[in-house]
Structure 1
Amino acid sequence: MKSRHHFGVTGTGNAARGFWRRLSGRRPVLLVAAAVVAVLLVGGAVFAVTRGDSPPPAAAPTNPPSQSAAPTPTPTPTVQPGADLRGPLDLLLVGVDTRVSVKGWEPHADAVLILHVNADLESGYLFSLPRDLVVDIPAFPKSGYRGGTTKLTHAMSYGSRRGKGEPSAAQGFQLLSQTVSKYTGIKKFHAGAILNFGGFAKLVDELGGVDMYVDQKVVSKHRQPNGKARTLRGGDYVGPQATYNPGNRHFVGWQAIDYARQRYTAGGDYTRQRHQQQLIKAILAKALSTGLPTDASAIERLFKALGSSVDVIAGERTPVEYGFALSKLRPETLTLVSLPGGGVGSGSGYRGEQLTSVGKGFITQLRAGKADAYLKANPKLVVKR
Structure 2
Amino acid sequence: MLTTAGIGYLYIKSLDANFKTGALGNGKVDVAAPKPDRFGHVPLNILVIGSDGRASSSDCSLGGSCDGSPPHADVEMLLHVSADRTNASVMSIPRDTRVDIPACTDAKGVTHPSRHFQIITDSLNYNVPGCVVDTWESLTHIHIDHWVMVDFSGVVKMADAIGGVQVCTRQNVVDYQVQTDANGVVHTPGSHLVLPAGTHSVSGVQALEWLRTRHAFEDGSDLGRAKAQHLYLNSMIRQMKSLNTLANPFKINSLAQAATKSIAADKDLGSIEALSSLALDLNKVPSDRITTVTVPNHYSTDPNTPNNEPVLLSDSASSLFAAIANDVPLDKQASSAPAPSATPAPAAPVDKSTVQLDVQNGSGTNGRGGAMTALLVGKGFTHALRDTRTVSYSLTTLVYPSSQQAEAQAVASTLGLPGSALKSSSSATKLTLQIGTDWKTGDTFASAAPKGGGVPTDAKAQNAADTSQCMDVNPAPYSSFSPSHTHYIYSWVGSTPPNVPQATG
Whether these two folds match at TM > 0.5 is yes
Q: Map residues 227-376 of structure 1 onto 2, 5 A cutoff.
A: 234=185, 236-237=187-188, 242-265=193-216, 266-267=218-219, 268-306=221-259, 308-313=261-266, 315=268, 318-344=274-300, 345=302, 348-350=306-308, 352-370=310-328, 372=330, 373=451, 375=454
Count of matched residue positions in the alignment of Structure 1 and Structure 2 = 297
Question: In the alignment, does 2:111 pair up with 1:153?
Answer: no
- The alignment partner of 2:152 has SS state of coil
Question: In the alignment, does 2:135 pair up with 1:179?
Answer: yes
The 8 Å contact of residues 191 and 212 in structure 2, kept in 1 or not, is answered as: no
Q: 1:312 to 1:16 in 2, by over 3 A?
A: closer
Task: Provide the rounded CA distance (Å) in 1 between the counterparts of 2:225 and 2:145.
Answer: 26
Specify which of 462, 481, 502 is matched with residue 383 of structure 1.
Answer: 462
Task: Provide the rounded CA distance (Å) in 2 between the counterparts of 1:190 and 1:319.
Answer: 13
The 8 Å contact of residues 6 and 312 in structure 1, kept in 2 or not, is answered as: no
Which residue number corresponds to residue 122 of structure 1? 86
- The alignment partner of 2:462 has SS state of coil
Task: Provide the rounded CA distance (Å) in 2 between the counterparts of 1:93 and 1:257.
Answer: 16
- The alignment partner of 1:120 has SS state of coil
Q: Deviations over 1:98-146 (max 9, x none)?
A: 1125475422111100111122112111110111111111122443211
Specify which of 136, 140, 144 is matched with residue 111 of structure 2.
Answer: 144
Unaligned stretches of 5+ residues in structure 1: 21-83, 161-168, 224-229
Q: 1:329 to 1:285 in 2, by over 3 A?
A: same
Which residue number corresponds to residue 28 of structure 1? none
The one-letter code sitting in structure 2 at the alignment partner of 1:282 is: S
The 8 Å contact of residues 95 and 112 in structure 1, kept in 2 or not, is answered as: yes
Q: Deviations over 1:9-62 (max 9, x none)?
A: 1699xx977279xxxxxxxxxxxxxxxxxxxxxxxxxxxxxxxxxxxxxxxxxx
Q: Deviations over 1:254-281 (max 9, x none)?
A: 2222122111132211010111122122
Task: Provide the rounded CA distance (Å) in 2 between the counterparts of 1:277 and 1:116.
Answer: 14
- The alignment partner of 2:83 has SS state of coil
Q: 1:116 to 1:256 in 2, by over 3 A?
A: same
Pairwise CA distance, 1:377: 6.4
- The alignment partner of 1:198 has SS state of helix
Q: Deviations over 1:353-379 (max 9, x none)?
A: 112223343223332444544536628
Task: Provide the rounded CA distance (Å) in 1 between the counterparts of 2:324 and 2:189.
Answer: 44
The 8 Å contact of residues 212 and 279 in structure 1, kept in 2 or not, is answered as: yes
Which residue number corresponds to residue 98 of structure 2? 134
The 8 Å contact of residues 177 and 190 in structure 2, kept in 1 or not, is answered as: no
Task: Provide the rounded CA distance (Å) in 1 between the counterparts of 2:192 and 2:83.
Answer: 45
The 8 Å contact of residues 50 and 149 in structure 2, kept in 1 or not, is answered as: yes
The one-letter code sitting in structure 1 at the alignment partner of 2:316 is: V
Q: 1:246 to 1:122 in 2, by over 3 A?
A: farther
State the TM-score, normalized to the length of structure 1. Answer: 0.65
Q: 1:376 to 1:321 in 2, by over 3 A?
A: closer
Task: Provide the rounded CA distance (Å) in 1 between the counterparts of 2:169 and 2:258.
Answer: 26
Which residue number corresponds to residue 45 of structure 1? none
The one-letter code sitting in structure 1 at the alignment partner of 2:45 is: D
Which residue number corresponds to residue 18 of structure 1? 23
Pairwise CA distance, 1:341: 1.9
- The alignment partner of 2:246 has SS state of coil
Task: Provide the rounded CA distance (Å) in 2 between the counterparts of 1:249 and 1:313.
Answer: 34
The one-letter code sitting in structure 2 at the alignment partner of 1:18 is: A
The one-letter code sitting in structure 2 at the alignment partner of 1:381 is: K
The 8 Å contact of residues 114 and 128 in structure 1, kept in 2 or not, is answered as: yes
The one-letter code sitting in structure 2 at the alignment partner of 1:111 is: V
Task: Provide the rounded CA distance (Å) in 1 between the counterparts of 2:173 and 2:69.
Answer: 30
Q: 1:320 to 1:350 in 2, by over 3 A?
A: same
Task: Provide the rounded CA distance (Å) in 2 between the counterparts of 1:104 and 1:243.
Answer: 28
Question: In the alignment, does 2:64 pair up with 1:108?
Answer: no
State the TM-score, normalized to the length of structure 2. Answer: 0.51
The 8 Å contact of residues 50 and 75 in structure 2, kept in 1 or not, is answered as: yes
Q: 1:207 to 1:304 in 2, by over 3 A?
A: same
Which residue number corresponds to residue 145 of structure 2? 190
Question: In the alignment, does 2:94 pair up with 1:87?
Answer: no
Pairwise CA distance, 1:312: 2.7
Between the two proteins, what is the percent identity of the paired residues? 21
Q: Could you tell which deviates more after superposition, 128-137 or 232-241?
A: 232-241
The 8 Å contact of residues 319 and 456 in structure 2, kept in 1 or not, is answered as: no
Larger CA Rg, structure 1 vs 2: 2
Which residue number corresponds to residue 175 of structure 2? 220
Pairwise CA distance, 1:324: 3.5
Unaligned stretches of 5+ residues in structure 2: 1-11, 26-38, 57-65, 331-450, 464-468, 470-505
- The alignment partner of 1:258 has SS state of helix
Task: Provide the rounded CA distance (Å) in 2 between the counterparts of 1:341 and 1:243.
Answer: 29
Which residue number corresponds to residue 382 of structure 2? none
